[in-house]
Amino acid sequence: MTDSCPDHLSVSQISMLMRCPMQYEWRYIKGVKAPYPVALAQGNAMHRVLQSVNSYFMLKKKWLKEADVADIWRTVWGETQKEVEDWGEESQESVLVSGFDLLRTYLREVADETVPVACEEFFDVKINGESVIGYIDLVEKDSVSDYKVVGRTPSQKDVENHMQLALYCIVKQVKLGQIIALNKKKQEVTVIPAKFNCKEWLGWFGDIIDRYAAMRKAGVFPPCQPDSWMCSEKFCGYYKQCRGASRKKKGVRIQYVQIGGVDPRKAEVEDE
């Protein structure tokens, strides 16, 4: 492992390793940063504002006014947008407007249903000796929630299998995890709850962490399936230097052993 390989795993790193180990290698082993996309910037900026909203409630026991949230959002987005390197079809103004509309919907429809006791709470736990770190967006007495700024609202099944939420439930020893989806396309905010069996999930995390820690130690990071949605110029910030560079690749040897006829290795049966 190089110096840039972190000595801990975060849940987002584990997710990246599971989606595409080669992408993890570009980012955390080779230390190459992908262009900062507008969707990620908007998500990060909205998380910061929601943190302010929840922190204010914990201090004052009342919610910030919409006009105050609009001011905070304008400031935070004004700072964040300077770092955006990939705007796609968005603009500074379009995100400014849609971001505030979503925050206002959150304040009107969801905030009152929550009683924050902590927000953006940091944790560092060791699972089978491997350090796993993260931040929990919203902690309530009996639940944990994760904000997602999305183009597609996750299904109930997506939430029940949500690794991040499962880990947050384990860390806080609660059974109820919620995704609070802020849908940019539909301009709606949806709370999707799910119950997590912490004992079962901890057992599964043990397997996941062991295997991906072994992968990091071995330094072998295979690519994802070529038909994966993310293996495209639109969704992978490393596409140009990774898969997109394969046309120029030299030195790959292919040997034509037999074309046509009957396979002599009859005993071997391959899965379809």
Residue ranges that bind ligand SF4, judged by CB under 6 A: 20, 22-23, 26, 223-224, 230-231, 236, 238-239, 242-243
Q: What's the CA gap between 35 and 262, in Å, rounded?
A: 50
Work out whether strand 176-183 and strand 143-150 pair parallel, antiparallel, or are unpaired.
Answer: parallel
Least Å distance between CB 239 and ligand SF4? 4
Least Å distance between CB 12 and ligand SF4? 15
Q: Whose Cβ is closer to ligand SF4: residue 175's or residue 243's?
A: 243
Q: Whose Cβ is closer to ligand SF4: residue 177's or residue 237's?
A: 237
Q: Whose Cβ is closer to ligand SF4: residue 204's or residue 229's?
A: 229
Q: What's the CA gap between 1 and 165, in Å, rounded?
A: 29
Identify the CA nearest to 34 among candidates 235, 244, 249, 212: 235
Least Å distance between CB 237 and ligand SF4? 8
Helices (H), the chain: 11-19, 21-24, 38-60, 66-80, 92-109, 156-160, 163-172, 198-218
Identify the CA nearest to 196 among candidates 176, 171, 211, 221: 176
Least Å distance between CB 153 and ligand SF4? 24
Q: Whose Cβ is closer to ligand SF4: residue 176's or residue 230's?
A: 230
Q: Whose Cβ is closer to ligand SF4: residue 9's or residue 17's?
A: 17
Identify the CA nearest to 56 among candidates 126, 102, 116: 116
Q: Tell me the sheet residues that pair with 119.
A: 138
Q: What's the CA gap between 79 and 74, in Å, rounded?
A: 9
Q: What's the CA gap between 242 and 239, in Å, rounded?
A: 5
Q: Whose Cβ is closer to ligand SF4: residue 119's or residue 242's?
A: 242
Q: Whose Cβ is closer to ligand SF4: residue 136's or residue 236's?
A: 236
Work out whether strand 176-183 and strand 188-195 pair parallel, antiparallel, or are unpaired.
Answer: antiparallel
Provide CB contacts within 8 A for 172, sequence distance 6+.
136, 139, 144
* Torsion, Cα of 111, 114, 119, 123 (10° steps): -140
Least Å distance between CB 234 and ligand SF4? 11
Least Å distance between CB 242 and ligand SF4? 3
Least Å distance between CB 205 and ligand SF4? 24
